[in-house]
Amino acid sequence: MTQHELEPAPSDPVVITTGSAHGVLAVLSEVAEPVADPTDHLLLRSSVYRQGGRLPITAIDEDGLFAVLEDAYDLGRWRSWRRTEKGSSNTSWFVRTDAGDVVLRRSHNLKTVAGAEFECALIDHLRGHGYPAPPVVRTRDGAILVQVEGVLHMVMRLMPGSGYDPDDPAHLVAVAHGLGRYHALVSELTVPAERKGSSALASLGPSGRENLYSAVEVVAPLLSPDAGTVLRADARYLADRMERLSTELGERQDTLTALVIHGSYGQSAVLLGEGRLTAVLDLDRAGDDLLGLDLAYALKAFCRSGELRRSVVGIDPDRCRAFLQHYRSQAPLAEADLAAMPEVFEAQRLVKIVKKCDNLLTKQAMIPQQAKDAVKFSLVLERECARVRWLTDNPFTLTEYA
């Protein structure tokens, strides 16, 4: 770990400490103690759907930034830090302080104060029920975040454990229990009368298809004529699938379970120790949506058959069956949700494509894309199109495994 001597910042950045979880939950203790009455109507304020695309990553003056944050938090000296190896959405560091080891997360432009408040309230709710979510460290003035020049920064305690081992059967049991337990805890936060339509399905509507075509028209002129023709053909196929699924699933979504999904419950979001789940991370993507989206993400992450195949789902039926059995020991799973999974698997891939298009258009507005960017985007779209075609031709049903 590289050692840094923390000197005062050469200039005074614009700093605002803000953000509070007060009022986000109707019943929430000042500290994350167990909730006294589990029958209380705990209502999480509506999650904030991320619109638009991520801006390009810019250089960071770490010494200046960390001096500001050290002053904002009552953690003593921030003695050393190193950037985490993974993470495309945010920039994070492991930090050693006088008060112990923490994780600093610098959020991307799509993270808002309201979104941070939602995440913090969710974490407090989960921890109040004994769930291993990482606690948010408050600032000296009790805030949940610090804004430095408009960018949100949150500090969380470093959680114990190591990564997921696909060869350890106890790990599959633990992560399946973990997702079921998570869904059981958040199910009480959703009131049927206040349910909204799925944000994921909405993104596949007219605006999503328009952004797909817009991104293709940015990229196609930078490719060879043949490659541009293939790209446009792939886009037409994907747009057609978006329209079909947004309609078909949209008409059925009132019969499907909606709750505060985790959003990225995969191998990088869990830590384990001695065969048990010690931490569930990456709750910054949590939001109101269809339970099936969480299930599809988890099954693809934890139930792979051998090496990851890039063009197909590659889910092992036996692992899938085991995962669902252990999940159901913690939370119910409606038949309607299971029956909709073939379409949900496909919709999830299409939502990923929409996000990539949004990101490209956002970057194009700031810095015109180059040929290398076009080639990279076209390869991603080609790969995702192959996956969607495979899912369309080979619908992966779960009813036979549940």
What CATH number is attached to the domain comprising 146?
3.30.200.20
Least reliable range by pLDDT among 298-307, 315-324, 350-359: 298-307
Do 173 and 147 belong together in one domain? no
pLDDT at position 180: 98
Which band of pLDDT confidence, cut at 50, 70 and 90, is reported for residue 314?
confident
pLDDT in tens, 324-352: 999 999 999 999 999 999 999 999 999 99
Q: Which two tokens stand for residue 79?
A: 């003695």
Do 38 and 70 belong together in one domain? yes
Which band of pLDDT confidence, cut at 50, 70 and 90, is reported for residue 1?
very low
Q: Is the pLDDT of residue 51 over 90?
A: no
Q: Does residue 333 form part of some domain? A: yes
Which band of pLDDT confidence, cut at 50, 70 and 90, is reported for residue 306?
low
From the list 241, 247, 269, 255, the residue with the least C-alpha distance to 352 is 241
pLDDT in tens, 100-111: 999 999 998 778
Do 153 and 173 belong together in one domain? no
Q: Which two tokens stand for residue 39?
A: 């029958």
**DSSP, residue by residue, 122-149:** HHHHHHHTT--PPPEEP-TTS-SEEEET
Burial of 58 (0-12, 13-18, 19+ CB in 10 A): exposed
Q: Which two tokens stand for residue 368?
A: 């015109």
Do 186 and 123 belong together in one domain? no
Q: Does residue 1 form part of some domain? A: no
Q: What is the CA radius of gyration of the chain?
A: 22
The two most distant CA atoms of the chain are separated, in Å, by: 65
* Mean pLDDT, range 46-50, rounded to an integer: 62
pTM for the structure as a whole: 0.86
Do 178 and 149 belong together in one domain? no
pLDDT in tens, 224-239: 999 999 999 999 999 9
pLDDT at position 9: 35
Q: Does residue 378 form part of some domain? A: yes
Q: Does residue 6 form part of some domain? A: no
Do 151 and 196 belong together in one domain? no
Do 152 and 175 belong together in one domain? no
pLDDT at position 135: 97
pLDDT at position 46: 57
Do 189 and 230 belong together in one domain? yes
| The domain boundary residue, chosen from 157, 185, 211 | 157
| The domain boundary residue, chosen from 127, 157, 187 | 157
Distance, CA of 277 to CA of 145 (rounded, Å): 27
Q: Does residue 268 form part of some domain? A: yes
Q: How many CA atoms lie within 13 A of 130 on its CB side?
A: 4
H/E stretch holding 93: strand 91-97
Do 184 and 219 belong together in one domain? yes
CA trace torsion 161, 108, 126, 22 (10° rounding) = 140
Do 386 and 240 belong together in one domain? yes
* Mean pLDDT, range 126-130, rounded to an integer: 96
Helix axes 225-252, 341-366, angle to 10 degrees: 130
Q: Does residue 388 form part of some domain? A: yes
Q: Is the pLDDT of residue 307 over 70?
A: no
pLDDT at position 31: 33
* Tally of domains in the chain: 2
| The domain boundary residue, chosen from 132, 157, 182 | 157
What percentage of the chain reaches a pLDDT higher than 90? 69
* Bridge partner residues of 155 (DSSP): 104, 137
Range of the domain at 358: 169-393
Do 215 and 350 belong together in one domain? yes
Q: Is the pLDDT of residue 268 over 90?
A: yes
Do 98 and 205 belong together in one domain? no
pLDDT at position 276: 97
From the list 265, 261, 245, 263, the residue with the least C-alpha distance to 253 is 245
Distance, CA of 298 to CA of 282 (rounded, Å): 14
